[in-house]
């Protein structure tokens, strides 16, 4: 089954449940390609679709179609008024609003949206059956709207723009330190810590009602100006107590592995999906001389480089030689 796109016939049926990742620039293309490959290695039963905005260039689309990756154009989603403070501390946040478009894709029953700087380590198909509200795209807006893991509020990199109350004592994951076994399978309550989700992985049942709620918040300039973390702060605000908290293993933020952050609950063997948060991504670094050498310095980066190398070998065998 394939989604109608530039490379498929519009008469073909599209799937009801999909993995998806949004791409707006070429800078994330290597990440998205390796994310897609890691999903394939996990032997998922569900297809993957790249959602792209008008800013994504034709050369990027050609690279995706060359690899047989299905694509879907989506409109940009932005606040009605541009935030006064801007995002000089992290320009990527200006693009983050666009992820909210996933709530409008009512041609699908379920979309699991993944950031392009993620790497799947184990099969996660169970996310396609997480209980959410409604049975179609026009539910009444009640009940559970989506599922996600918490944001880590520890601020281990001491970023100056983070709110002052974002400290380890106010982090939802810190509350799980006394029960690390439970943390592998159960998320802390949604209101724990600062009560905010991380939007790197969102399990969504698209709904016109819920997207209308999002749009109302985007139209509120005062609210938008108050947000430090754009899309995930809006979602936490608009749907307070209406999201399912997933355990950290589905959105394992790279910084959490540090013994001084959340090493107490982190277990390499339990991780389903790693999130390479913050500015410098693995593919933007100098490739390691060997995976073994990289593993001695940074285990999580070595995981990414190993899958990336496998992807590139696979592509060369298929005659794809664009070097991405």
Q: Which domain holds residue 117?
A: 17-151+197-317
Measured distance CA(21)–CA(245) in Å, rounded = 20
Averaged confidence pLDDT in the chain: 90
> What's the CATH number where 293 sits?
3.90.550.10
Looking at 8-12, 164-168, 170-174, which range is the least confident one?
8-12
Residue 88 has pLDDT above 60, yes or no: no
Give 184's strand partners: none
* pLDDT, tens digit, 9 for 90 and up, residues 195-226: 999 999 999 999 999 999 999 999 999 999 98
For 106-137, give the DSSP string.
Answer: TT-SEEEEE-TTEEE-S--GGGGG---S-SST
For 12-69, give the DSSP string.
Answer: S---SEEEEEEE-SGGGHHHHHHHHHHHHHTT-SS-EEEEE-TTS-HHHHHHHHHTT-
On whether residue 168 sits in a domain, the answer given is no
4: number of Cβ within 10 Å:
16
Measured distance CA(158)–CA(177) in Å, rounded = 21
What's the total number of domains in the chain? 1
On whether residue 158 sits in a domain, the answer given is no
On whether residue 111 sits in a domain, the answer given is yes
Looking at 13-22, 120-129, 224-233, 263-272, which range is the least confident one?
13-22
- The region that residue 151 occupies, defined by phi over 0 for left and psi between -120 and 50 for alpha, beta otherwise, is beta
pLDDT of residue 132: 87
Measured distance CA(29)–CA(135) in Å, rounded = 34
On whether residue 72 sits in a domain, the answer given is yes
On whether residue 8 sits in a domain, the answer given is no
Q: Which of helix, strand or coil describes residue 224?
A: helix
On whether residue 177 sits in a domain, the answer given is no
Measured distance CA(9)–CA(101) in Å, rounded = 23
Measured distance CA(162)–CA(32) in Å, rounded = 27
Specify the residue for token string 């001084």: 260
On whether residue 206 sits in a domain, the answer given is yes
311, burial (CB in 10 Å: exposed 0-12, middle 13-18, buried 19+): buried
Residue 128 has pLDDT above 90, yes or no: yes
Cβ contact 137:206 at 8 Å: yes
Q: Which of helix, strand or coil describes residue 48?
A: strand
On whether residue 34 sits in a domain, the answer given is yes
Q: Grade residue 139 by pLDDT with cuts at 50, 70 and 90.
A: very low
Q: Grade residue 87 by pLDDT with cuts at 50, 70 and 90.
A: low
Measured distance CA(184)–CA(126) in Å, rounded = 15
């Amino acid at each position: 089954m394939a989604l109608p796109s530039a490379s498929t016939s519009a008469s073909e049926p599209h799937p009801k449940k999909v993995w998806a990742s949004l791409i707006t620039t070429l800078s994330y293309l290597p990440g998205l390609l390796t994310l897609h490959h890691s999903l394939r290695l996990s032997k998922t039963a569900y297809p993957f679709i790249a959602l792209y905005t008008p800013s994504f260039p034709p050369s990027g689309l050609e690279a995706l179609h060359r690899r047989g990756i299905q694509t879907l154009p989506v409109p940009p989603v932005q606040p009605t008024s541009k935030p006064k403070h801007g995002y000089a501390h992290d320009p990527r946040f200006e693009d983050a609003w666009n992820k909210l478009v996933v709530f409008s894709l009512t041609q699908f029953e379920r979309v699991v949206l993944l950031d392009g700087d993620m790497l799947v380590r184990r099969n996660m198909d169970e996310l396609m059956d997480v209980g959410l509200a409604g049975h179609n795209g026009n539910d009444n807006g009640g009940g559970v709207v989506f599922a996600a893991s918490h944001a880590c509020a520890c601020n281990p990199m001491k970023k100056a723009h983070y709110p002052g109350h974002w400290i380890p004592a106010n982090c939802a994951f810190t509350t799980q330190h006394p029960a690390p076994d439970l943390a592998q399978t159960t998320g802390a309550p949604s209101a724990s810590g600062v009560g905010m989700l991380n939007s790197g992985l969102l399990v969504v049942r698209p709904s016109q009602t819920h997207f209308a709620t999002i749009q109302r918040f985007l139209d509120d300039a005062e609210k938008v100006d108050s947000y430090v973390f754009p899309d995930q702060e809006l979602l936490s605000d608009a749907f307070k107590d209406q999201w399912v908290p997933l355990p950290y293993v589905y959105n394992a933020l790279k910084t959490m592995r540090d013994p001084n952050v959340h090493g107490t609950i982190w277990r390499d063997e339990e991780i389903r999906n790693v999130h390479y948060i913050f500015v410098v991504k693995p593919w933007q670094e100098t490739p390691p001389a060997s995976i073994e050498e990289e593993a001695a310095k940074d285990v999580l980066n070595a995981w990414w480089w190993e899958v990336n190398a496998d992807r590139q070998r696979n592509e060369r065998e298929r005659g794809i030689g664009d070097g991405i």
